[in-house]
Amino acid sequence: MTSFSFTIEARDGAARQGEIATPRGAIRTPAFMPVGTAATVKAMYPAEVRALGADIVLANTYHLMLRPGAERVAALGGLHRFMNWQRPIITDSGGFQVMSLANLRKISERGVTFRSHIDGSAHELTPERSIEIQNLLGSDIVMQLDECVALPATDEVTEKAMRLSLRWAERCQKAFGRPEGRALFGIVQGGANDQLRVESATALTAMDFQGYAIGGLAVGEPQEVMLGMIEVTEPYLPRDKPRYLMGVGTPDDLVSSVARGIDMFDCVMPTRAGRHGLAYTRFGKVNMKNARHADDPRPLDPLSTSPAARDWSRAYLHHLTKSGEILGMMMLTAVNIAYYQELMATLRQAIAAGRLADAIGEIREGWAKGEADAQR
């Protein structure tokens, strides 16, 4: 069996281009991981997600434990068979989703008790149960349970959550062990506090996880705060382990974070935007609801890897979007997933060639030109 490993093949400044090896296939980095929260990347077939360039998808512990249930998925052969995706899967621990329940949850040293947003039923999620669920699902990369606080937050609240997350990290590591071919990632917390971020990263590094995530960002703070926390944290993470920025983000977030040494990303943005009529392209964002597209025979992007962007007119995509047709949601989701994968491929190639700064300049120039054209 192939073991879990990470190889850095090229560097350009802080940026790294490499590959994560897993028994279910390689993950080229920097990587964008489409979000398949409930064992589906919304509005897309798994084969299409793969064809557009994704090496790995993300599924969510919280949602799958509630419906259909981790034990049921395990009895049906595990998550890969259940959703017919044979490549790597990463599972979030459920901590972020539980945080969003606000008054429906209660946090203690033991774990989190909460009521389901589906039917109000009572549940408990401890570090050990989170690992058990992810093991039942059979994910290739498992995340520790952590407490994620919304920003802005006081230093007192942030420190308390960070220290609890460190204690939970130890319990998750003990529960997970060292299964061959699978990996457990620790999650750096600390809000927007430099000292707390450094302390969290240092403590987690000493625990020797197989990879490290930076969590608790993209939760309401400005981009400059997010990037600042990456810059503070990055020097304290191991050079030879993958780094994952959770829940991020816009194409500009991805470009800026890759330049600061991040290897892995996930975000609902491309799929959610596609279902609401917004396309991400090398020309920037294109709102297909705008009337200016109604008589436009041009494709969204003739060079896209997505047939939806190449083979149909903007006028047709506008019609589908305005009509609320499901096909429109499917096509724009595919356009967006394709663009995010194309962006990652461009960044990988640029790092390997030692021309990342030039490539980022060209990418941003394309966005700016597209936005200028849209104003005409």
- pLDDT tens digits for 69-121? 999 999 999 999 999 999 999 999 887 777 777 667 889 999 999 888 889 89
Catalytic residue among 55, 92, 140, 146: 92
pLDDT at 374: 82
Domain range list for the chain: 5-267, 274-374
pLDDT at 104: 73
Does the structure show a pLDDT above 70 at 64?
Answer: yes
Q: What is the mean pLDDT of residues 140-160?
A: 94
**Residue environment code for 262-298, b if the CB has 16+ CB neighbours within 10 A, otherwise e:** bbbbbbebbbebbbebbbbbbbbbbebeeeebeeeee
Closest by CA to 254, choosing from 336, 149, 371, is 336
Mean pLDDT score of the chain: 96
Does the structure show a pLDDT above 80 at 172?
Answer: yes
Could you give the percent of the chain with pLDDT greater than 90? 90
CA distances from 64 to 73, 89, 111, 117 (A): 9, 14, 18, 13
For residue 281, is it left (φ>0), alpha (ψ between -120 and 50) or beta? beta
Residue with tokens 């200016």: 292
Q: What is the mean pLDDT of residues 2-30?
A: 97
Say whether 92 is catalytic: yes
Q: What is the mean pLDDT of residues 30-35?
A: 98
Which class for 375: exposed (0-12), middle (13-18), buried (19 or more C-beta within 10 A)?
A: exposed
Separation of alpha carbons 225 and 116, rounded Å: 32
pLDDT-based confidence at residue 186 (cuts at 50, 70, 90): very high
CB neighbours of residue 352 within 10 Å: 15
pLDDT at 151: 84
Least confident of 7-21, 70-84, 88-102, 226-240: 88-102
Catalytic residue among 12, 253, 266, 301: 266
pLDDT at 97: 79
**Contact present, 188 and 200 (Cβ < 8 Å):** yes
pLDDT at 103: 63
Could you give the percent of the chain with pLDDT greater than 70? 99
The top-level CATH class assigned to 5-267 is alpha beta
Tens of pLDDT, residues 339-360: 999 999 999 999 999 999 999 9
pLDDT at 99: 72
Q: What is the mean pLDDT of residues 3-24?
A: 98
pLDDT at 276: 98
**Contact present, 89 and 56 (Cβ < 8 Å):** yes
Residues in the chain: 376
- Written as six digits, the tokens of 373 are 């054209």
Does the structure show a pLDDT above 90 at 47?
Answer: yes
Say whether 295 is catalytic: no
pLDDT at 132: 98
Does the structure show a pLDDT above 90 at 375?
Answer: no
Tens of pLDDT, residues 286-332: 999 999 999 999 999 999 999 999 999 999 999 999 999 999 999 99
Strand pairing class (31-34; 15-21): unpaired
pLDDT-based confidence at residue 1 (cuts at 50, 70, 90): low
Least confident of 96-105, 146-155, 167-176, 267-276: 96-105
Q: What is the mean pLDDT of residues 149-164?
A: 93
* pTM (2 d.p.): 0.97
